Structure 1
């Protein structure tokens, strides 16, 4: 829901047109023009749409783009993942004549920069930095600012204004306004009456906003959600659990009033290991634990087979980049036992597993498994792992955790193993935020990194051409299967049930799986006199 809400309020330079499965201009007129400088730099020339404006009528300018990028690197804000994603942009150079034109100067010459450079939300400088104080800092200065640098009153003030605004509603140039927010219950949006993009014809898909009002309701129980859908209290039920979807679709009464959609997705279910824990710091132990997940049976139990097993975090549907030469990891408790002995553990079964750690400290292999309490699929996976681990002699305590607390626990490293979904897309493969040393403390929740993996991830991000990138991605999947910071289990399907009268959902494989801003309701037929 958070992704959907943000996309209704804010716009990026580029956004995905799901009808064409490609990035296109949103705030920008179109994709940037690329110029290679020497053998180490890329310049991307952008132009903003002339009509793009904030709610007060002031135009969206290059200065807003520069401010938004600098804000990512402003100290005091929890933007670590974004800093890792956009660290390749070294400078923003405004056009001296046209305030809507600018150039992004990027380090390296990756073909991925064409799309990645435009995938961040643009915020209004006039609202968050009315005196333009952040203009006194270059983007490079903020990027290179030491973490231990003395506090700066200007940067602190900007961070404080952003933090204060984000608690209410950050002003955006998107089509909708947030009119009601009940935490963990309901979000209501109203289309802006004079939104700038509504005047253009034809309106690009990424700028269409057809519903006058959109309301999102949080119902934690699947059966209750289904009942609300059948009563007509809900129009769309996205990300529907497999069993509930199959049960409802089998009902002739439900089929008379609802449409059912199922597509593949780029969302992979995985387990993550806290590699900062001494007991989990070595690859052999993590390989052993990986063999305690029965991915094939879990796929059937949680998805009724409607998904696909995988060797890594790249979808098997991506034939260019998926490493199909790697074997699927088997469910093999006996093999796990052999791997544990190779890792130096002694004992096993009822006695438990122990080994001598650094400085002679005795280690015991005991695990605490975290997962979101509101998702039965995660509970099923955790229970299966717990039973298999017990068979091997590893005690595992399950900790179902509320969503917000779960995120905090992953950030602070308060887990041994977690179960979650990692969302992906077919356009970009920048793994710096989630698997690189630069992402530790932010998106890299497992804490895993080596010099070799860092170099490989950097090479993927900087790859010049699909062939080179594909070769590097195959090496990356092999390395990750050997090191096992995460255990990818399977990719899930995207299942949606919706009122038959709705059109324009554009169900697709990308999160959230449909387009809320283009939904329309067919008119009710007039009664026959």
Structure 2
């Protein structure tokens, strides 16, 4: 009887979640978000769920066409011309003449300049994106053509072409209607003390930008892409509607990837996997990704389901890894961390949590980038014997109750508190496997599943022993500096483990500076070796994505690059 009650309760929750929404349109795509996006700010988003929506509201200078996973011009009319002079590189851009904002005004170089000033402004919360564009020093506008501009960049790397075009362009007329930022030189924000610009007027612009992305900011949450926010019920759904007469339809050949086809896109916020699976089976969702393995295998055997849905398994670029907090005295010796890494049974984790839908890896470089992946570096094996030997070498003494050593004059026991995101079956299964193996060698492991915000907060505050997490990547850029450089190891920085040596810092800088693909491969190979030696950031595997899409749609552009399909390109079959 209890199983029936649980099923009825889940079904009731599902039905309630779909009540009180805008009427479903014939030309509508419905899909699931695992968490509420929290913020849809194009300058300070914090989740992939948010980014998926922002991509439908705003555009960058360059974009990725998921049809063939290639980089193509977005708001820019073409790829930039590159000019190098001494230590500077100049990227000459021109915007599409068709590009316009929701009020019908053109997207101009002044909007690009305003965006860069916002991203570099110390008064605006955008630390992560600020680091991404630190190499852009200045912008030069063309006085004779408002759509032309030049980005002045320090140094040169081949990846700069992508990075100069990989940030969302903001409408200055909405965020800075008084044109306060117009007179602030970008170069000043890049190189000098900007406190002179901390005025009432700039603080007002900063407040508007910091508010951007909240449910209350709907009036200013508007970009140049083909959709606008229609409704946002926090914790329930986010609905986007297609703009009428959107300019992207008038871009010639580019309209094959600058698209806004579905009339409405409805994101359902369903944290529970079982509820999401039920919604898919009941045809209340058109798209579901990140399907747990067991459910996906069930769907593959369900002939009735396959009459209406197609299943897809592209090789993705999402890295699953373990992180060990090197700041904790008990984990400060890398031999201790190496021992813990040898207790991670990666093949077993893949078998239980992913079956055949994952590829093990020696580092953060995807194995399909054969030119950069370190194929000669041996996979770290699961070996309790090696783990025990390493613990003894690190000074740990094994007793009947476990392992201990004297650290800073005090007796310290080797216990691990393992964090992971609550409700994620994959992490739960991996955590249980690790716990069982660690216990066999006498290391107690406490599992601590946490809700998303609490989980992220503990990691940002460095209040953890070890955690499992996913990292989204792509096959284009390998700028690992924010992830591994010691300058990003402070509170809130992406280097949450405290990883870093003088050599790795130097290599990370050189990777971003080198022009030679051969030199980049050599540097990345050495970086992967150091990552394995330090065992603070422990790469485990790259997932294959598991997606179901309703068969009434064509032109879905399924890809291994997030978000794994192009919602804006979906077309109803006749």
Which of the five TM-score ranges fits, normalised by the shorter chain?
Answer: over 0.9
Q: Aligned to 2:519, which of 468, 489, 500?
A: 468
Q: Aligned to 1:266, which of 294, 300, 317?
A: 317
Match of residue 23 from structure 1: 71
Match of residue 16 from structure 2: none
Question: Which 5+ residue runs of structure 2 have no aligned equivalent?
Answer: 1-48
Counterpart Cα distance in 2 of 1:365 and 1:145: 47
Q: Deviations over 1:154-192 (max 9, x none)?
A: 443322111123222422111111111122321111001
1:50 aligns with 2:102: no
Match of residue 440 from structure 2: 391
Within a 5 Å distance, the mapping from 1:423-434 to structure 2 comes to: 423-434=472-483
Counterpart Cα distance in 2 of 1:162 and 1:28: 24
Counterpart Cα distance in 2 of 1:149 and 1:278: 43
Question: Which 5+ residue runs of structure 1 have no aligned equivalent?
Answer: 524-529
Shift of 1:65: 0.8
1:280 aligns with 2:311: no
Q: Aligned to 1:255, which of 290, 294, 306?
A: 306
Aligned residue pair count: 520
Q: Deviations over 1:243-280 (max 9, x none)?
A: 11111111222222221111111111111112222222
Counterpart Cα distance in 2 of 1:149 and 1:437: 30
Q: Aligned to 2:499, which of 448, 452, 458?
A: 448
Shift of 1:390: 2.2
Within a 5 Å distance, the mapping from 1:9-158 to structure 2 comes to: 9-38=57-86, 40-144=87-191, 152-158=199-205
Shift of 1:74: 1.4
With over 3 angstroms needed to count, the CA separation of the structure-2 counterparts of 1:150 and 1:243, relative to structure 1, is same
1:235 aligns with 2:280: no
Within a 5 Å distance, the mapping from 1:202-213 to structure 2 comes to: 202-213=253-264
1:293 aligns with 2:347: no
Match of residue 201 from structure 1: 252
* TM-score (norm: length of structure 2): 0.87
Shift of 1:131: 2.2
Q: Deviations over 1:117-168 (max 9, x none)?
A: 1000000112212222223433343234569999554443322111123222
Shift of 1:351: 3.3
Shift of 1:466: 1.9
Q: Aligned to 1:417, which of 438, 459, 466?
A: 466
Q: Deviations over 1:342-368 (max 9, x none)?
A: 2222335523322323xx344433222
Shift of 1:220: 2.7
**SS of the counterpart of 1:352?**
strand
Question: Cα RMSD between the aligned structures?
Answer: 1.9
Counterpart Cα distance in 2 of 1:90 and 1:147: 14
**SS of the counterpart of 2:375?**
coil
Q: Deviations over 1:203-222 (max 9, x none)?
A: 43331110010111122333
Counterpart Cα distance in 1 of 2:150 and 2:251: 26
Within a 5 Å distance, the mapping from 1:436-515 to structure 2 comes to: 436-440=485-489, 441-515=492-566
* TM-score (norm: length of structure 1): 0.94
With over 3 angstroms needed to count, the CA separation of the structure-2 counterparts of 1:199 and 1:351, relative to structure 1, is closer
Counterpart Cα distance in 1 of 2:487 and 2:117: 18
Shift of 1:500: 1.7
- Stretch deviating more after TM superposition (179-188 or 368-377): 179-188
Counterpart Cα distance in 1 of 2:381 and 2:311: 33
**SS of the counterpart of 1:59?**
coil
